[in-house]
Amino acid sequence: MSKLNFAQCQQFIKQVKQYLPGGVHYNFRYSGKDTIIPFNKGRGSRVWDLDGNEHLDLFCKFGALIVGHYNLEYNARLSDYMEKVLSVDQCDLEPLVCERIVHYVPCAEMVRFCLSGTEAVQNAIRLGRAYAGKPKFVRFRGHYHGNADNIMGGKPQSPDYPTPDFYEGDFLDTEGRAPQIMQEQSFMLPWNNLEALEQLLANYADQIGVIIMEPICINGGGILPKPGYLEGVRRLCDRYHITLIFDEVITGFRTALGGAQSLLGVTPDLTVFGKALAGGALPVSAIVGKKDIMQFYTDQKVIHAGTFNGYPLGLAAVLATIELLENDTDCYQRMGSFLMQIAQSLVDAAQAVDIPMVVQGVPNILIFHSQNSALEYPEGYNDDTKLRDILITRLCKEYGIQFSPISRFYSNLLMEETDVEFFQSRIGEAMADVKKITSLFEPSPVAA
């Protein structure tokens, strides 16, 4: 297998750069600017670019695409619903969709839909603060909750008063942010550290209305909560009357239909979903939670609004996704097993050329790190590993393997054994290329 040729893609990208800043639809300030590859065909786990090259899509639109490309049942459900009614304020799907979500998700007694994860997070924080009647929220290092001013990047400045502030090299820092917004609204702590939270609450619980976290820290590198940690946070929230929010934008529907909370056994007060909630082709996010909190919307105490909230096609997509996952009874196990085989092949290929490699996370959301042992804390993700991870992601693209940014990879419902074989047929050469580059920076052996 030789490297792919991207002549047409490059031509197209030149054109696109005239219109889209940077030629892309989003940007963060991290050094590994991704190679842009435009695609015009997808089947199952494969996508084809403008040059006709075939790629394995482990990117899955940042983890959203759980149904797979050209999922005929999903597509039919959407087009059938478009035939029924296109765009109205309320359609006939709400009870069906909400009933399924309430059935599966432990904290869900009521549901509100919106569009993006960022938007759902902001609305959940507003609701949680209103319910608790206190103005600030706590978030954690390495957790990502969308690209709003008040919640993106930073690190705690002082252990005594740990409000987030900017630091040199923070790829989530941005110009144009409302000044002091992070410091005024929030505290930031290390995650998986109950003592740090206890200490903060002992001093400032009267200001803190919300604690928000990813229950499994995917954005921080695929780190699981320590035994007893989530239970401890839950207890503290109850003691101090704080609304606990789980951000399940990535884990929702990818770990289980009930989200990570259904597996971890700790129930938050509110949860936000996004990404895979509607299968991955359409934007739908949701805020779900306990009735007495959601009641604040009913009573008009808290505003939640949006033109496209609950749009029919989006709801049809959520329902289709839930039913596809429900009816395919061993899908989580099957998808997870294919992805784990891919992970093992990655580790083997790296080891074959003496590049350190670990894979961590949960079976349908995996993250690789080019280092010898699993990452235990988001803060432990060092620059050398980061650079190698970016290089691996970048070079794999040239052999038709599409990882998601920040070295993640995802499964989908249509994944099959041949996808594992496709990966295995290409990863060896890609890793050999990685080795060629990294060895340029390795100290040469000292002559005896």
What is the set of active-site residues?
144, 247, 275
State the nearest-atom distance from the C-beta of 64 to ligand PMP, in Å: 8
Q: Show Cβ contacts of residue 415 under 8 Å, excluding neighbours closer than 6 positions.
A: 44, 45, 68, 334, 335, 338, 339
SS3 content of the chain, % helix, strand, coil (to 5): 40, 15, 40
State the nearest-atom distance from the C-beta of 307 to ligand PMP, in Å: 17
Q: Which residues pair with 187 in a beta bridge?
A: 138
Interactions with ligand PMP, residue window 302-321 (CB under 6 A): none
Whole-angstrom distance, CA of residue 240 vs CA of residue 134: 11
The single residue among 49, 247, 389, 398 that binds ligand PMP, judged by CB under 6 A, is 247
Q: How far is CA 331 from CA 71, 322, 363, 425, in A?
A: 14, 12, 12, 25
State the nearest-atom distance from the C-beta of 120 to ligand PMP, in Å: 8
Nearer CB in complex with ligand PMP: 53/118: 118
Nearer CB in complex with ligand PMP: 185/345: 185
Interactions with ligand PMP, residue window 103-142 (CB under 6 A): 116-118, 121
Please compute, for residue 127, the number of CA atoms within 13 A of its CA located in the half-sphere on the CB side.
33
Which amino acid would we find at residue 302?
Answer: V
Nearer CB in complex with ligand PMP: 151/302: 151
Q: From residue 266 to residue 295, what is the string marking binding to ligand PMP with x (rule CB under 6 A)?
A: --------x---------------------
Interactions with ligand PMP, residue window 188-217 (CB under 6 A): 214
State the nearest-atom distance from the C-beta of 172 to ligand PMP, in Å: 11
State the nearest-atom distance from the C-beta of 233 to ligand PMP, in Å: 17
CB neighbour burial string for 178-204, b if at least 16 within 10 angstroms, e if fewer: eeeebbebbbbbbbbebebbeebbeeb
Q: Which residue of this chain has its Cβ atom nearest to ligand PMP in the complex?
A: 117
Task: Compute how many other C-beta atoms are within 10 angstroms of the C-beta atom of residue 291.
Answer: 10
Nearer CB in complex with ligand PMP: 285/345: 285
Q: From residue 25 to residue 64, what is the string marking binding to ligand PMP with x (rule CB under 6 A)?
A: -------------------------------------x--
Which amino acid would we find at residue 23?
Answer: G
CB contact at 8 A, 355 and 347: no
Task: Compute how many other C-beta atoms are within 10 angstroms of the C-beta atom of residue 125.
Answer: 27
The single residue among 132, 250, 284, 288 that binds ligand PMP, judged by CB under 6 A, is 250
Phi, psi (rounded to 5 degrees) for 83:
-70, -30
Nearer CB in complex with ligand PMP: 117/209: 117
CB contact at 8 A, 54 and 6: no
State the nearest-atom distance from the C-beta of 92 to ligand PMP, in Å: 27
State the nearest-atom distance from the C-beta of 393 to ligand PMP, in Å: 16
Instruction: Give the DSSP H or E segment for 56.
Output: strand 54-57
Residues in the interface with ligand PMP (CB under 6 A) total 14
Whole-angstrom distance, CA of residue 212 vs CA of residue 202: 18
Q: How far is CA 285 from CA 2, 290, 315, 366, in A?
A: 41, 17, 10, 22
The single residue among 44, 146, 154, 252 that binds ligand PMP, judged by CB under 6 A, is 146
* Interface stretch with ligand PMP, choices 224-232, 246-254, 390-398, 427-435 (CB under 6 A): 246-254
The single residue among 12, 74, 144, 410 that binds ligand PMP, judged by CB under 6 A, is 144
User: Nearest-CA neighbor of 130 among 248, 309, 303, 306?
Assistant: 303
Nearer CB in complex with ligand PMP: 121/320: 121
Nearer CB in complex with ligand PMP: 362/430: 362
State the nearest-atom distance from the C-beta of 160 to ligand PMP, in Å: 28
Measured at the alpha carbon of residue 345, what is the angle toward residues 342 and 349, in degrees to the nearest 5? 140
Nearer CB in complex with ligand PMP: 365/413: 365
Query: Which positions lie near ligand PMP, rule CB under 6 A?
Result: 62, 116-118, 121, 144-146, 214, 219, 247, 249-250, 274
